[in-house]
Structure 1
Amino acid sequence: MAAKEISQSEHVDDIQQKVPDLPLSEADLAGERKLVRKLDMTLMPIIWVMYLFNYLDRNNIAQAKLDSFEADLGLRGDNFNTAVSILNVGYMLMQLPSNMLITRVRPSLYIPFWICLWSCISAATAGVHNYTGLILVRLFLGVAEAPFFPGAFYLLSCWYTKKELAFRTAILYSGLVLATAFSGLLAAGIFSGLDGTRGIKGWRWLFIIEGAGSFLAGLCGFFLLPDLPGAETGSTSWLFTAEERRIAKDRMIRDQVSNQVPENSVWYGLRTAVSDFRVWIFAIILCSNHTAYGFNNFYPTIVKGLGLGNTTITLVCTAPPYLLSTIIALISAYSSDHLGDRGYHIGGLMALAAAGFIISIASPPTNHAVLYFASFLYITGTFSANSMVYTWAAASVSQTPEKRACATAIVNLMGQLGNIWSPYFFRPQDSPRYVLAMVLMIAFSGLSIVGCAVMKMVLRRDNKKLVERFAGTAITPNLHVL
């Protein structure tokens, strides 16, 4: 279906017809607050648990590396780097098709299906016996995991307004950070308690146990995950009353009042997303951020090089920086929502990360305390910044749900390039300090900061145009968050 060409006045008239009566009554305001509280107690927890398992299943290869994983599979040279990188190739292949499809299917069925599938694939890693098998499993794991995060984020963006989304995305992202923190603790327990049980190595138990946990989370999702506002399927039918569904639908229409268009074709959404240069700026920012936290799969090795203790102690010591970054991410997101800013917050956090990388390079290799402290800075900076990029992008390019889904998929897809090439920055001969990788992380942190500055200028200009467009009308436009 071809996109309709509409004049500015026709566009404003169309919006006025869609927007519920304003101002809101006290009853509607109270109902909206009750709805948000209910979402926070139902939708957020199930999505959070799913995302925690998503990252546990993706990140456990970093812990397996400290066991006999490489020796048992005969990995040599940069084989491990390729195994880390190849997952993101599969992720990229499935990302955009999945997000085009999710606007036409029930999220309560679609998302849990992929969770159960990736759980089985991840657990199958325990049965791998050579490098070829590992590469195939990791490739298909990337394909199966690709629909989850952009799909979950799309679902959240359909229930939460722009002003509410950053803090909720940070909460969601805390699942990733806590998964990274507790994966080390979980691996330490499995390696010390189950290694050799029933003739199975500790790293194989790691994949089996975490795969089983995420499969259970997927099964729960079929019953607990809601569909879109206004729907009467999934948990939406019994969790929300008819009045709550009306409020949910109406408030999302009001939230998009400044930039709605009447065309809702999936292909129109894809075309407008691809042609919107702001999508590509966000893609550069996210790609830079992902590249800058390419250390993630090598962090246990970096900590092991500090000589803090045996493998168990090393895995335990990987947790504190991620726990701190969870707290900082939530504080940053709350501050971002409260102050109505994204660019300065993201840029500031990436500057903090760059400072950590610089300290890692400048400090003597024997100064273990300073090197460990530096890791707190670059972990906190990169992880805390990433959640806000998705929120910023989704709120800024959301003329239709279809465009929002395609745009966030493109941003996330291009961001995966950072996850594909960054593992090769960590050359085996540079272990455990990885000086070359740290220099490149500094460069990409700087590129992210520049991208944030450019985007703030672009959105400031767009806000000026929005004010001019709706001047003299009864509509107060929702301006872009800078």
Structure 2
Amino acid sequence: MPSKFVGYLRGTQKKPGERALVQKLDFFILTFCCLMYFLNYLDRSNLANAYVSGMREELHFKGNQFNQINTVFTVGYTIGQVPCNIALYYIKPRIFFPAMMVIWASLTMATAGTHNPQGIMAIRFFQAIAESSTFVGTHYILGSWYTEKELGKRSGIFTASGLAGTMIGGFIQTGIHSSMDGLSGLAGWRWLFIIDGIITLPVAIYGFLLFPNTPSTTTAPYLSAKDRALAISRVPEVDERTPISWSFLKRCFSSWYWYGFVMLWIIAGETESFSSNSLLALYLKAHPGGHKYTISQLNNYPTGVAAVGIASTLFWATLTDFLGGKRYLVGYWIGITGVVTSTMILAKPGSTAVHFAAYYWAGSVYACQATFFAWANDVLRHEEDSLRAVVIASMNMGSNAVNAWWSIVFYSADLAPKFTRGMYAMIATSIALAIWTTGMLYMTHREEKRRPIQNGQVMAEKSQVADEKV
């Protein structure tokens, strides 16, 4: 077993030139996508960092206005999911991704000039539409280039880069607040948004120059004709149909793939609520014991949640690859984690140490991002390409549509520090996820048994057509 695992880590490529091709893909695709997602999450998470670093007081936030801004962002993010993935059929990814980065970088810098929560709401809505291109778009691109045995690990690295943005954002805000607060008459939290926008632009330029598009459309100078042919041969040949037609919509909405994976991610997405809604930061800000944490502590302590998320994501993504794509295991892990950590927070008498442990442990549920989207790519790689693109986008769209109101109902900032209502919701969604995962496991196994029969029928039909032509 150890020798097999070491061999897996080194790579499973066997065709001549395949390992060199994958190394090129990792360098140019994975590097750009990870940097893009890192900056995407950095911009997104730094709203919470700014909120606890003086923005709340300076802009006179009241009640749950912070959650309302997050909801407005979620609405924009939800609206952009499917259109952005469909846009990849009509606009080259090499153009589309960098263009979206420039837009959201500009809006991030504009946030530094706001004077009230309503101004931030307006900016965050349009910023969310631009940022919605990154996550689902990248998973579609990864599924276009990488095989089943390679995909989980790459999806994990990609997801971990976003969590790194969340984690490092706290340290960046701490450094900016200590060294730049008051510089040129601007508060430290305003400088945070300016710097975030500036560092995004060079990565956009890098993508515009070197991103390779998809195997069938690439013109990247570092990929030879032999590389391109090899890249196309590594993934199943599937039908390519326009994603904007009534026949496609009928095919999509009559398929169990759409309903199954969209509901899977709706449930799984809400199990991430502890982390995605910055509950630990809000808990510290309204500590039940009345303890007052410094701005540095408010920014730095929650980074542990993202650190656990990174470790868990890489562990489960690598393990499920090695085990032959058993992505469903993560659903059961999250079910256990959600129930136990919520119970730890609800238990009386509670202690700060126990609550810290629960929030940190809950960060491990971030593993479902990489593994569940890799699962969708695995199952759908034998279907038409446009169906895979829309299902992946719809997964995130469905999750964010629910999260738009879920965070206000269960995790509003004025419910801190206990979030009792949210703890019970977390227990319910964790149990539901374990049950739904079992159903998805049954459906995917049934489909795997049907596929050889279907493929045989297709080959027979093609052979008959060829005979008739002769």
Instruction: Please report the TM-score for the alignment, with normalisation by the length of structure 1.
Output: 0.86
Q: Answer yes or no: is 1:157 the counterpart of 2:143.
A: yes
Q: 1:247 to 1:266 in 2, by over 3 A?
A: farther
The aligned counterpart of 1:325 is 309
The answer as to whether partners of 1:304 and 1:311 remain within 8 angstroms in 2 is no
1:122 pairs with 2:118: no
Please name the residue that 1:416 is paired with.
Answer: 400
Matched-pair contact (CA < 8 Å) for 1:264–1:400: no
User: Which deviations, in whole Å up to 9, do the C-alpha atoms of 1:388-431 show, x marking residues without a partner?
Assistant: 11111222234122111111111111111243123211234421
Q: Is the 8 A contact 1:346 1:388 kept in 2?
A: no
1:293 aligns to what? 272
AA aligned to 2:62 is R
C-alpha distance in 1 between matches for 2:79 and 2:114: 23
SS of 1:231's equivalent? coil
Q: For 1:383 and 1:428, how far apart are their aligned partners in 2?
A: 22
CA shift digits 1:40-96 (9 cap, x unpaired): 222111110110001111111111111221222222111111101111111122221
Alignment correspondent of 1:68: 54
Rounded to whole Å, the distance in 1 between the matches of 2:140 and 2:84 is 11
Matched, 1:302 2:291: no
User: How many residue pairs align between the two structures?
Assistant: 440
1:202 is matched with 188
User: Distance between the aligned counterparts of 1:46 and 1:129, measured in 2?
Assistant: 34
Secondary structure at 1:128's aligned position in 2? coil
**Distance in 2 between the 1:108 and 1:468 partners?**
38
Alpha-carbon distance in structure 2 between the residues aligned to 1:171 and 1:81 = 29
- CA drift of 1:113 comes to 0.3
CA distance in 1, matches of 2:184, 2:330: 50
Partner amino acid, structure 1, of 2:223: F
Q: CA deviation at 1:187?
A: 1.1
Q: 1:269 to 1:393 in 2, by over 3 A?
A: farther
Q: Over the residues paired in the alignment, what is the CA RMSD in angstroms? A: 2.3
Distance 1:29 1:363, change over 3 A: farther
Q: Say if 2:89 is the partner of 1:108.
A: no
Structure 2 residue aligned with 1:344: 329
Q: Return the letter of the residue paired with 1:249.
A: I
Pick from 30, 46, 55 the counterpart of residue 32 of structure 2: 46
Partner of 1:272: 251
Letter of the structure 1 residue corresponding to residue 272 of structure 2: Y
Distance 2:87 2:243 in 1: 12
What is the aligned partner in structure 2 of residue 245 from structure 1? 228
1:391: which partner in 2? 374
Instruction: Give the Cα–Cα distance (whole angstroms) in 2 for the partners of residues 175 and 445 of structure 1.
Output: 25
- Does the 8 A contact of 1:121 with 1:137 survive in 2? yes
* One-letter amino acid matched to 2:264: I
- Name the SS for the 2:121 alignment partner: helix
The residue correspondences of 1:144-223 to structure 2 (distance < 5 A) are: 144-223=130-209
Question: Hey, what's the Cα distance between the residues in 1 that align with 2:379 and 2:240?
Answer: 18
Corresponding residue for residue 349 of structure 2: 364
Question: 442, 462, 466: which is aligned to 2:451?
Answer: 466
Matched residue SS, 2:52: coil
Instruction: Give the structure 1 partner of residue 388 of structure 2.
Output: 404
1:449 aligns with 2:434: yes
Closer, same or farther: CA 370–403 of 1 in aligned 2, 3 Å? same
* Alpha-carbon distance, 1:281 to partner: 1.9
Structure 2 unaligned blocks of 5 or more: 1-11, 461-470
Q: In structure 2, how many angstroms separate the alpha carbons of the residues matched to 1:262 and 1:60?
A: 40
Helix, strand or coil at the partner of 1:342: coil
C-alpha distance 223-463 of structure 1, shift in aligned 2 (>3 A): same
> Structure 1 residues 347 and 266 mapped into 2: Cα distance closer, same or farther (>3 Å)?
farther
- Aligned-residue offset at 1:304: 4.1
Deviations 1:81-125 (A, max 9, x none): 110111111112222122112122210011110011011111111
1:292 CA displacement: 2.1
What letter is aligned with 1:100?
I
* Residues in 1 aligned to 2:109 and 2:89: alpha-carbon distance in whole angstroms: 30
CA contact (8 A) 1:28 1:247 kept: no
Distance 1:412 1:442 in 2: 21
Once residues 319 and 92 of structure 1 are traced to their aligned partners in structure 2, the CA distance between those partners, rounded to angstroms, is: 26
- State which drifts further: 86-95 or 305-314: 305-314
8 Å CA contact 2:241–2:386 kept in 1: the answer is no
Cα separation, 1, equivalents of 2:348 and 2:183: 42
Q: Partner amino acid for 1:329?
A: T
Percent identity of the aligned residues? Answer: 26
- Which range is displaced more, 341-350 or 267-276? 267-276
State the alpha-carbon separation in 1 of the partners of residues 413 and 454 from structure 2. Answer: 57
Cα shift readout 1:295-343 (whole Å, capped 9, x = no counterpart): 3333312244554841202322122232132122111111111112011
CA contact (8 A) 2:330 2:367 kept: no
1:62-101 paired onto structure 2 within 5 Å = 62-101=48-87
For 2:140, the aligned partner's letter is Y
How far apart in 1 are the matches of 2:36 and 2:242? Answer: 29
Secondary structure in structure 1 of the residue aligned to 2:36: helix
1:266-312 superposed Cα distances (whole Å, 9 cap, x missing partner): 43544422322222221122112222222333331224455484120
Shift of 1:377: 1.3
Instruction: For 1:202 and 1:119, locate their aligned partners in 2 and report how far apart those are by CA, in whole Å.
Output: 18
User: TM-score, structure 2 length as denominator?
Assistant: 0.88
Query: CA offset at residue 471 of structure 1?
Result: 6.0
